[in-house]
A and B are shown apart, each in its own frame.
Chain A
Amino acid sequence: MSEAPLVSIENLTISLPGNNGGRLFPVRDVSLSIGAGEIVGLAGESGSGKTITALSLLGLLPPGGRMSGHIRFGGQDLLTLRPREMADVRGRDIAMVFQDPMTALHPMLSIEKQLTEHLRHHRGIDARAARTRAIELLELVRIPDAARALKRYPHQFSGGMRQRIAIAIALCCEPQLLIADEPTTALDVTVQAGILRLLQQLRGELGLSVLLITHDMGVMSALSDRVVIMYAGRVVETGTRTDVLQHPRHPYTHSLLGALPHEQGDDMLLQPMRGTPPSIGALPPGCPFHPRCDWAEGRCRDIEPGLRVVEADRGIACVVDPLVGVPA
């Protein structure tokens, strides 16, 4: 990255109150960056910490949560902002789209109301200008017959349309970064394809950066420029989409790709991983993946590996690094 990235998360650690008065660390020493106009995919299973990392960008931690590290955005460190200042950034410079389109929209307000309210709050423009902008936004997300759509209510739209509207609301103040947390998981696969295409178009037309959080490696592959894989609160692998998905170097990435249905000649294979992801309250010593790892050695139990840069724009968190040069 020759130019400074748009967002740079450095050594982020998040702690939450645990059940017995102690603290849990669902995110430990996570660093990742997103460039302008770049789509970065953040992948991981449940318990990997991907969603809470995204929420930290918006300052939306659960009660009792604390963060340390730096989140550099627009010349500021977001972690030093006061709640009021953070509220300004949220929605205006960084916006988020959530998984469930059914609950993302207010069921009792018209689409026009939901779009313009946001605009008028952040930008203080008048009703007429807000309405014009609202129509623009609906057209941007390819909702047919935008002027009529403004008058309707969420329940009159399908899941895919609602998600598009949610994206329009997120974009109303022209944010630089859009965080999409599992934006298509609740949608049918044919509808999902449309939303993925839309996100790519928006990146092209608006220069929008996207942090795409997903557990679906196919979605990651279709849309991301770069990929960040998280496991049990740590980043375990980063790199370009092609590198990571075609030549995964971390054992977890390799096993995960193997556990997905993948074609091999005339067959479709499914190779399960053994074990389950650990819960944050009961992490194994050393590397959190070592109990499930086919290449684990003795030292894996002693050291929790940090992310190491192994090539240009490629990092893995593994002391054994057994997969150099092995294709997926």
Chain B
Amino acid sequence: MTNAAPATANLHSPTGKLRSAWLQPLGLVGATLLLIMIIAALLAPWILPHEPNAQAFGRFLAPNATNWFGTDQLGRDIFSRVVHGARVSMPYALQLVVMAAVIGTIAGAIAGYFGGWIDGVIMRAADLVMAFPDIILAMAVVAALGPNLFNAVLAVVVVSWPIYARVVRSLILTLRDEPYVQSSRLLGASSGRALWKDIRPNVAGPVVVLAALEYGHAVLILSGLSFLGLGAQPPTAEWGSMVSEGAKYFDKWWMSAFPGLAILVVVLAANFLGDTLRDAFDPKSAKAFR
């Protein structure tokens, strides 16, 4: 039978794309890490050995058997505070991302669909916001509203919506010219109906991907605002403010290092997940899941 798999001298596995072997596991890693942190955050009150705000231990203790991450200047267990920090940063960042995505998507859809002066106004507003470095603008908004976590979230939403608006608007403009949309129009669908039935399903994917990629960014800015004293206020255990406190006591490295590490892990994990989602949704990518 001439079809048998021939004995191949394994010549020429030319420039194998190692990335394609890498990238999928990375998404799994990212998702797993996030999941672990979410579960830990949810179960924190029950599983943690110590209260986050209890000044129950000696001050400035280095990491040891009881206090895995050491203690801070008020004798609080840092490990518990880091885990509780997840209960602050992660949900707030999620809320922020969802709000920014919704506002940005609606704005972008209106701009793309109606065009004309509405498009001009919305896009100029977006340009205005994007012209500022995000943390500076966020600081200004928080300063105006009063420094607390809720206002910090609002500030980051103000700073983040434009990117969704831009992406959605250009998607809509591109998709409007696709033959399948034109064919719906020819069959009698109004612009609005075509937008809803044909364009919307193809917009959801990229927006979800963008949101996943932006999540890590949101965590970062939120922590940054708290670091500057403009977000979570003491005694709330929030990673950014913990890093800020720890910065005053530089030789007590564990006070800043662990919360900082937590931020790093979440941002990386969100990025891995976002990358994998983007590849999964890209119809042209060979790595797209079917």
Contacts and interface: CB of A to CB of B under 8 A. Distances in A.
B1 A15 contact: no
B14 A79 contact: no
Interface residues of B, number: 17
Contacts of A13: 6, 8
Contacts of B9: 68, 79
A28 B3 CA distance: 7
Given A28-B3, A304-B2, A63 B12 contact: no
Nearest to B290: A19
Given A304-B1, A304-B2, A66 B16 contact: no
B1 A60 contact: no
A296 interface: no
A67 interface: yes
Nearest to A82: B11
B15 interface: yes
Contact of B5 (A23, A59, A60, A61): A23
A45 interface: no
A23 B1 CA distance: 17
Nearest to A234: B2
Chain B residues touching A, majority SS: loop
A66 B20 contact: no
Given A66-B8, A68-B8, A29 B2 contact: yes
A15 B2 contact: no
Which range contains the number of A residues in contact with the other chain? Answer: 20 to 34
Nearest to B10: A66
Contacts of B10: 66
A23 B3 CA distance: 13
A124 interface: no
Interface string B1-29: 11101111111111111001000000000
Given A67-B8, A68-B8, A28 B2 contact: yes
Lowest 4 CB-CB distances: which A-B pairs, in order?
Answer: A63-B17, A68-B8, A63-B16, A68-B6
Contacts of B1: 304
A184 B15 CA distance: 29
A67 B12 CA distance: 7
Contact of A59 (B3, B14, B20): B14
A75 interface: no
A144 interface: no
A47 interface: no
